[in-house]
Amino acid sequence: MKLPLIAGFAPDAVFAWREGEPIPTRRFLRDVARLGALLPARGQVLNLCADRYRFAVGFGAALLRGQVSLLPPNHTPEMVAQLLLDYPGLYCLREEGGPALEIETLLFPQEAGAADGGEPGDPQAPLIPEEQVAAIVFTSGSTGTPLPNRKTWGRLTLSAQSEAARLGLRASPGEPAWSLVGTVPPQHMYGFESTVLLPMQGGLAMHAGRPFYAADVAAALGSLPHPRALITTPVHLRALVEEAAASASSAAAFQALPDFLLCATAPLSDDLARSAEARLKAPLYEIYGCTEAGQVATRRSSAGPRWQALPGLELHQDQLGTWVRGGHVEGEVLLGDVIELADDTHFELRGRNADMINIAGKRTSLAHLNFQLGNIEGVRDGVFVLPEHANKGEAEKNPEVVRLAALVVAPGLKPAQITAALRRRVDAVFLPRPLYMVEALPRNSTGKLTAAALRELLAQCATKPPTRT
Amino acid sequence: MSALTEQELALAHLVVETLNLEVKPEEIDPEAPLYGEGLGLDSIDILEMALAISKTYGVQLRSEDENNRKIFASLRRLNEHLQEHRTK
């Protein structure tokens, strides 16, 4: 079976808002067809367009050409080199001024604009085979090789339609369509699902930008017609809520801006969830998911800790942990969190598995970070540590962001050299702060590092004056 | 390294306290980049700093501002921007 690129296709419905200008769906389809004809005859594309509209055009064009969009967890030089090993036919699509990487690159062509839109008749939304692999989303894995998760067009469209229905954001006749602003990049699984696929399959209009500061988010929301949704993360939500609280004079400017708040990547604290609804005067929903399964469940944050699985999904447990299957999930996926099931579609989160790290919504594993650290030339031994209460002060100030520490044995290297080498290999949020140089790690007779021994060494290092970089 | 002015030192204290940095405020090079290499701040730090700046200086940073990268180019540039636009 084939499924349309745009569900419920209405050629004049707004698909995107770009620099204050509405872009109708017919122009989106024309831009997709135009770019599709320009793409090189290759198998996979690394779509790094920062403009959300251009990302969607690039994704649509790749689909038309039967090319797979690759979504790795970061775009460091090391990651791109790894991807090229596994996908020698990979090329990069990006805008001028984007990050220059060592890979064959197509610069996104200038759009033809509105003036060139006068084709007679209505274009048809292209049909894509449901079994076509549309995207491969990667997790960082425990070694240098990123682990692929294939997403077919059929599963992706089902997922987006389930989300639109569950959250009440689906376009319906006679009702004004929703618009959305996203602070998440379209290259991230959550951003891909909720700011690219949701508009394509739920009839929403996307804001093409990716506002960063609280004032940017407010301006982007203010530029769209009601009803409008903000698709964000705990870190950005907190900045917005605190800014609204701090600038009492302009608090009105932050209120009544979003009509709906959606947050994901890490569970929200009750405090932040409550103050977000109170300050921003909009209902707040969260999505729980992971790269492997995609979105799994939703909850109204103020209604309590219980999550409800998306339509068609079922959870069950065995000695390995909690599995999800059904609906848009391909096969069965083991979830990386400790979960308490109420029944097969309702659950509460009880914490992360010990090796998993989530900082500001970006996920990796300690095993992966340790692997990257150990592979730096000159590093004899090294380990990342998630300080539990070591930086409690910081955790209280900003519970969404707890930084990692690292203990490194590397005679002859300076901390700054190690940080620079790590920067080429891992996402910046995982860079250790602090990084301590030590003479040896407290490995026991079997070569293992116990949590207690690491904590003790970390505490000793912390009482010494900071190492000069 | 050139010495910090009194205003720059105050800003350096705000940066170090807000982000719990391991460096002493008076040791920050006012000309060194704040992003990436240099002081090593990332986008999450910048968002955190934006809030502290809003509370302390009454300046709301915007990234549509063409100069945004330049503003965070160094402590000195950031201080100049804040002194020019401060309302507190």
Domain at A57, CATH number: 3.40.50.12780
* Chain A residues within an 8 Å CB radius of B63: 211-213, 216
Minimum Cα–Cα distance from A250: chain B residue:
B60
A409 with A368, same domain?
A: yes
A342 with A436, same domain?
A: no
Is A444 domain-assigned?
A: yes
Residue A5's pLDDT is 96
- Pick from A351, A386, A405: which residue ends a domain? A351
* Chain B residues within an 8 Å CB radius of A214: 50-51, 54, 60
Per-residue pLDDT for A120 more than 60? no
A338 with A453, same domain?
A: no
Per-residue pLDDT for A116 more than 70? no
Q: How far is CA A266 from CA A107, A234, A307, A363, in A?
A: 34, 7, 13, 9
Residue B1's pLDDT is 55
The CATH number covering residue B12 comes to 1.10.1200.10
* % residues pLDDT > 70 (chain A): 91
Question: What's the whole-number average pLDDT of chain B?
Answer: 86
**Best of A74, A210, A216, A233 to mutate (most B CBs within 10 Å, chain B):** A216
Residue A464's pLDDT is 73
The CATH number covering residue A413 comes to 3.30.300.30
Q: What is the ipTM of this complex?
A: 0.87
Which among A214, A243, A433 is the nearest to B22, CB-wise? A433
Using 50, 70 and 90 to split pLDDT, how confident is the model at A394?
very low
Residue B40's pLDDT is 80
Range with the poorest average pLDDT among A80-84, A188-192, A398-402:
A398-402
Is B53 domain-assigned?
A: yes
A118 with A204, same domain?
A: yes
Over residues A117-134, mean pLDDT = 80
B→A interface, C-beta within 8 Å: 20-24, 36-37, 40, 42-44, 47-48, 50-51, 54-55, 60-64
- Could you give the number of structural domains in chain B? 1
Range with the poorest average pLDDT among A72-76, A93-97, A178-182, A463-467:
A463-467
**Best of B1, B20, B21 to mutate (most A CBs within 10 Å, chain A):** B20
Minimum Cα–Cα distance from B46: chain A residue:
A213
Q: Which pLDDT tens digit goes with each residue over A10-60?
A: 889 999 999 999 999 999 999 999 999 999 999 999 999 999 999 999 999
- A240-279 residues touching B, CB cutoff 8 A: 242-243, 246-247, 250
* Chain B residues within an 8 Å CB radius of A236: 47
CA distance A300 to A53: 29
A51 with A166, same domain?
A: yes
Residue A47's pLDDT is 98
* Chain A residues within an 8 Å CB radius of B55: 246
A256 with A381, same domain?
A: no
Provide the token pair at A166. 């569950």
Is B74 domain-assigned?
A: yes
- Could you give the number of structural domains in chain A? 2
A294 with A369, same domain?
A: no
Q: Where are the alpha helices (DSSP H) in A25-177?
A: 25-38, 52-64, 77-86, 153-167
Provide the token pair at A227. 């009803």
Is B42 domain-assigned?
A: yes
Q: Which pLDDT tens digit goes with each residue over A301-354?
A: 999 999 999 999 999 999 999 999 999 999 999 998 889 999 999 999 987 777
Over residues A355-378, mean pLDDT = 87
A251 with A269, same domain?
A: yes
Q: Which pLDDT tens digit goes with each residue over A7-22?
A: 988 889 999 999 999 9
Whether residue A200 contacts residue A5, with contact meaning beta carbons closer than 8 Å, is answered with yes
- Pick from A326, A351, A376: which residue ends a domain? A351
Range with the poorest average pLDDT among A274-283, B19-28, B66-75:
B66-75
A343 with A374, same domain?
A: no
**Best of A183, A213, A236, A362 to mutate (most B CBs within 10 Å, chain B):** A213
Residue B22's pLDDT is 79
Structural domain range at position A439: 356-463
How close A281 gets to chain B, by Cα (Å)?
Answer: 21
Whether the predicted model's global pTM rises above the 0.80 cut: yes
Beta strands in A74-154 (DSSP E): 90-94, 105-107, 127-129, 133-139, 147-152
Q: Which pLDDT tens digit goes with each residue over A167-187?
A: 999 988 888 999 999 999 999
Using 50, 70 and 90 to split pLDDT, how confident is the model at A438?
very high
Residue A252's pLDDT is 56
Is A469 domain-assigned?
A: no
**Best of B47, B53, B55, B65 to mutate (most A CBs within 10 Å, chain A):** B47
Per-residue pLDDT for A398 more than 90? no
Structural domain range at position B74: 6-85
In one-letter notation, the amino acid at residue A238 is R
Over residues B7-34, mean pLDDT = 90
Which among B22, B24, B63 is the nearest to A213, CB-wise? B63
